[in-house]
């Protein structure tokens, strides 16, 4: 009889009113035209529960006043009840319909079967039909326990499952609402992980190529998709990395593929991906932010290759001049070597300055609450650079030494103030911001050259740049004064 109360979701001591309310509530989701078998089982549980709730012990039969005469002798009707007849009625069997046996369900095995069916289901409609046809889920308690075990196992070990099948499971087990108690962010991550594993299966590569828009000649590029996946799933090969780095645009395409694959959440990639290889190619692109070590190594390799090419070209020019008799052999060799080393040194120096500028610009643009080993150095680097540059300028130092320090501190102060402001950014603004460090570096070079040309002018370029730098820096620090000391926030 316990199966009836379990199906109705009631305790064993429930009264008839509670049984009727539970039956009326379940009738809203269990219709005879939708699922006749489930309705018959619910109706049988309702009748059995009512019979148990209305059953009470019957007291022993006492002779009434109508069966007794005035002298205390039994009436003729009562006299006819002989001991033999009473014994015959006592031992007469009473035939009643036996209630159906309560189902014995292995919740763990059932949850495993549900997950396996969801993985191999052809569509969410087939999965929904299979779940509706399982008689084990007619019990509300079994259904709730199975749903909790299924979602716990999926959180522990995500499976290759499409997003539609996962939504079907959540909807069937009533886990798709806020009252279910599931963290929505964890559920979103689970959906992302399982969808990615489902797309990484060979039979679903076509859908993956369409989602990340990897196309060639208007069709999904399956060959490039397989090459990128093989590159990211194998250990990092430095020789192959050098070849890719020297190929124009290859690193950016790999970074775009990796970002589109996991939507920037590289920690959600399956275990089949090589973590070292993924981190290297992800940080080698400007999407990773500051000048990371992979990005610095790849661009340094490119600059070195360009410098070697220029050196070889210069050597070939001088050797050609020597062959035509225009210059002696020693002079041609000396001039070619000196000129080649000058070109290589200039390119490498310019690249090191630009890489350092990118790093410092990113470092200064971090929010005040960002963790830092030397927070005071990050706050004071701009006024210190500006003061050093202006001091060199006042002491008569060459302008090419003082100018870059002053104008660099000016650009850093302006960009720091603007980037740490609360503002909405669009996709176009993000693209402009990605090239802003290079534009700012170019502006510093131009300002420095302009200052050297206008050195005899009466316009106080250096003084104006110093004033703007200190004013902008002080305004930014005053806006974030609460991080310096709590008492300053009250002012």
Inter-CA distances, 378 with 111, 115, 401, Å: 54, 52, 22
Q: Which of 199, 217, 251 is at the close of a domain?
A: 199
- Which tokens go with 207? 């859908």
pLDDT of residue 232: 93
- The answer to whether residues 480 and 371 belong to one domain is yes
What average pLDDT does this structure show over 430-441? 54
What average pLDDT does this structure show over 76-93? 43
pLDDT of residue 422: 62
Q: How confident is the model at residue 435 (pLDDT cuts 50, 70, 90)?
A: low
- DSSP sequence for 342-376: HHHHHHHHHHHHHHHHHHHHHHHTS-TTS--S-HH
Q: How confident is the model at residue 423 (pLDDT cuts 50, 70, 90)?
A: low
Q: How confident is the model at residue 490 (pLDDT cuts 50, 70, 90)?
A: low
- DSSP sequence for 211-244: HTT-EETTEE-HHHHHHHHHHHHSPP-HHHHHHH
Q: Which of 288, 319, 347 is at the close of a domain?
A: 288
Contacts of residue 443, defined as CB under 8 A and 6 or more positions apart, other chains included, come to 407, 411
More confident residue, 171 or 57: 171
365 pLDDT higher than 90:
no
- The answer to whether residues 310 and 398 belong to one domain is no
pLDDT of residue 79: 38
- The answer to whether residues 262 and 324 belong to one domain is no
Q: How confident is the model at residue 454 (pLDDT cuts 50, 70, 90)?
A: very low
pLDDT of residue 427: 47
Q: Specify the number of domains making up the chain.
A: 4
pLDDT of residue 455: 46
- The answer to whether residues 378 and 471 belong to one domain is yes
pLDDT of residue 173: 92
Euclidean distance between CA atoms 135 and 154, whole angstroms: 23
- The answer to whether residues 209 and 190 belong to one domain is no
- Which tokens go with 29? 């989701």
Instruction: For the beta carbon of residue 144, count every other beta carbon within 10 angstroms.
Output: 15
Structural domain boundaries enclosing 421: 365-491
More confident residue, 246 or 320: 246
Per-residue DSSP letter, 267: G
63 pLDDT higher than 60:
no
- The answer to whether residues 266 and 299 belong to one domain is no
Go through the chain and tell me how many residues it has.
Answer: 491
- Which tokens go with 12? 């064993």
Question: Highest mean pLDDT range out of 94-98, 129-133, 321-325, 486-490?
Answer: 129-133
444 pLDDT higher than 80:
no
In a domain, 278, yes or no: yes
In a domain, 58, yes or no: no
142 pLDDT higher than 90:
no
What average pLDDT does this structure show over 344-370? 87
What average pLDDT does this structure show over 263-269? 85
In a domain, 70, yes or no: no
pLDDT of residue 323: 67
Q: How confident is the model at residue 172 (pLDDT cuts 50, 70, 90)?
A: very high
- Pairing status of strand 219-220 against strand 215-216: antiparallel
Q: How confident is the model at residue 116 (pLDDT cuts 50, 70, 90)?
A: very high
In a domain, 403, yes or no: yes
pLDDT of residue 287: 73
Q: How confident is the model at residue 486 (pLDDT cuts 50, 70, 90)?
A: low
Mean pLDDT computed over every residue of the chain: 78
- The answer to whether residues 276 and 300 belong to one domain is no
What average pLDDT does this structure show over 114-142? 89
Q: Which of 331, 361, 391 is at the close of a domain?
A: 361
In a domain, 351, yes or no: yes
The pTM of the full predicted model, rounded to 2 decimals, is 0.62
More confident residue, 71 or 204: 204
432 pLDDT higher than 60:
no
Could you report the per-residue pLDDT of 389-422, keeping only the tens digit for each? 889 888 887 777 788 888 889 889 998 888 887 6
pLDDT of residue 55: 58
In a domain, 86, yes or no: no
- The answer to whether residues 345 and 328 belong to one domain is yes
The SS3 assignment for 439 reads helix
312 pLDDT higher than 50:
yes
Euclidean distance between CA atoms 252 and 434, whole angstroms: 13
pLDDT of residue 62: 39
- Which tokens go with 444? 């510093």
pLDDT above 90: percentage of residues in the chain? 18
- The answer to whether residues 387 and 488 belong to one domain is yes
3 pLDDT higher than 90:
no
- The answer to whether residues 370 and 402 belong to one domain is yes
- The answer to whether residues 256 and 308 belong to one domain is no
- The answer to whether residues 225 and 326 belong to one domain is no
């Amino acid at each position: 009889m316990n199966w009836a109360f379990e199906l109705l979701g009631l305790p064993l001591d429930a009264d008839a009113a509670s049984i009727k309310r539970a039956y009326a509530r379940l009738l809203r989701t269990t219709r005879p035209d939708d699922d006749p078998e489930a309705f018959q089982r619910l109706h049988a549980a309702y009748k059995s529960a009512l019979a148990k709730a209305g059953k009470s012990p019957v007291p022993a039969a006492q002779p009434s006043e109508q069966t007794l005469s005035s002298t205390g002798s039994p009436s003729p009707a009562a006299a006819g009840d002989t001991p033999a007849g009473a014994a015959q009625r006592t031992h007469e069997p009473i035939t009643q319909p036996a209630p159906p046996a309560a189902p014995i369900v292995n919740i763990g095995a059932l949850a495993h079967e549900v997950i396996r069916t969801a993985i191999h289901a052809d569509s969410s409609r087939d999965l929904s039909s299979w779940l509706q046809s399982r008689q084990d889920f007619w019990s509300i308690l079994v259904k709730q326990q199975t749903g909790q075990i299924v979602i716990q196992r999926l959180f522990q070990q995500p499976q290759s499952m499409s997003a539609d099948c996962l939504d079907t499971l959540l909807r069937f087990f009533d886990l798709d609402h806020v009252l279910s108690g599931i963290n929505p962010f964890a559920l979103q991550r689970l959906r992302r992980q399982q969808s990615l594993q489902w797309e990484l299966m060979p039979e679903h590569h076509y859908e993956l190529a369409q989602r990340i828009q990897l196309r060639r000649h208007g069709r999904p590029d399956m060959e490039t998709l397989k090459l990128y996946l093989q590159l990211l799933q194998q250990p990092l090969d430095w020789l192959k990395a050098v070849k890719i780095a020297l190929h124009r645009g290859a690193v950016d395409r790999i970074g775009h593929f990796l970002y589109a694959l996991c939507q920037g959440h590289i920690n959600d990639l399956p275990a089949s991906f090589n973590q070292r290889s993924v981190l290297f190619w992800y940080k080698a692109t400007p999407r990773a932010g500051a000048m990371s070590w992979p990005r610095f190594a790849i661009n340094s390799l490119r600059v070195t290759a360009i410098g070697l090419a220029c050196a070889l070209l210069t050597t070939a020019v001088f050797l050609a001049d020597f062959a035509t008799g225009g210059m002696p052999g020693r002079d041609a060799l000396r001039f070619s070597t000196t000129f080649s080393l000058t070109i290589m040194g200039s390119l490498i120096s310019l690249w090191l300055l630009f890489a350092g500028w990118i790093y410092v610009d990113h470092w200064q643009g971090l929010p005040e609450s960002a963790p830092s080993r030397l927070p005071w150095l990050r706050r004071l680097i701009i006024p210190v650079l500006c003061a050093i540059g202006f001091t060199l300028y006042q002491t008569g130092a060459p302008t090419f030494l003082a100018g870059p320090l002053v104008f660099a501190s000016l650009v850093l102060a302006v960009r720091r103030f603007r980037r740490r402001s609360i503002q909405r950014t669009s996709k176009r603004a993000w693209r402009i911001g990605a090239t802003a460090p290079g534009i700012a570096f170019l502006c510093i070079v131009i300002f420095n050259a302009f200052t050297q040309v206008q050195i005899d002018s009466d316009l106080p370029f250096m003084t104006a740049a110093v004033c703007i730098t200190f004013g902008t820096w002080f305004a930014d620090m005053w806006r974030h004064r609460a991080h310096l000391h709590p008492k300053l926030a009250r002012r």
